[in-house]
Amino acid sequence: MPAKDDPIVIKKYANRRLYNTGTSTYVTLEDLAEMVKRDENFVVQDAKSGDDITHSVLTQIIFELENDRNGQNMLPVSFLRQLIAFYGDQMQMVVPSFLEQSMMAFSKEQERMREQMNKAFGTSSIDMIGMSAPMKMVEEQTRRNIEMFQNAMRMFTPMPGASEQPAAPERDAGNDTHRSDDLKDLREQIAAMQRKIDSMGDS
């Protein structure tokens, strides 16, 4: 029996069926999406090889949600273009950490907003007055977050004309020093941006 805090194991078979070993039932991608929303931790394994395929399955869930005609796209085209451009780029290694930290900060901020709304209006009060006022608060805060995130992503975009600079004919020890300095500066910029993200909840 798995420990209480161990993730639930979902097995994916060759016929693409998903089996929840915790409930001993077959599930769908929609079921897994609901488990994510309920903050239920799980891993997806290939039933034959035992390989961890959680990443590919979660990516598939996002693909299905983004293509749901009854839903609403969350990923702007401009963001998708920027994200694709980073694949194979020298900045690719820092993008996952930056995105993860940004989303964690965003989630924490939204949770604080929900608590403030509950204290200010109360559940019954919100039901009586409708959701227009709280939703305006959420929309405004979301707009601020998106603008801040887009500005942060521009930090990684090469400056115009940078590709026109002539490359050094040979690699020498100085190149390693410059690269180390560049990475140090990049880490400092990411840390500064994270401080801005964290301070938004206090503003």
At CA 42, angle to CA 37 and CA 46, rounded to 5?
A: 130
pLDDT tens for the 203 residues of the chain, in order: 455 678 999 999 999 999 999 999 999 999 999 999 999 999 999 999 999 999 999 999 999 999 887 777 888 888 889 888 888 887 788 888 888 887 888 778 777 777 777 777 665 544 544 444 555 555 565 566 666 666 665 655 555 554 444 444 455 555 556 556 666 666 676 666 666 655 654 55
Which residue bears the tokens 């979660």? 58
CB distance 38 to 70 below 8 Å: no
Q: Which domains does the chain have, with CATH numbers?
A: 8-66 (3.40.1170), 75-156 (no CATH)
Residue 102, Cβ neighbours under 10 Å: how many?
19
> What b/e sequence results for 31-69 when a residue is b if at least 16 CB atoms lie within 10 Å of its CB, and e otherwise?
ebeebeeeeeebebbebeeeeebbeebbeeeeeebeeee
Q: What pLDDT sits at residue 20?
A: 97
Residue in 181, 184, 195 with CA at minimum distance from that of residue 148:
195
Element (H, E) at 58: helix 54-66
CA distance 69 to 76: 16
Torsion-angle region of 88 (φ positive above 0: left; ψ -120 to 50: alpha; else: beta): left
Beta partners for residue 42, in sequence order: 8
pTM tops 0.95, yes or no: no
Q: What pLDDT sits at residue 142?
A: 58
Q: What pLDDT sits at residue 131?
A: 46
DSSP code of 52?
B
Torsion on CA atoms 167, 168, 174, 178, rounded to nearest 10: -10
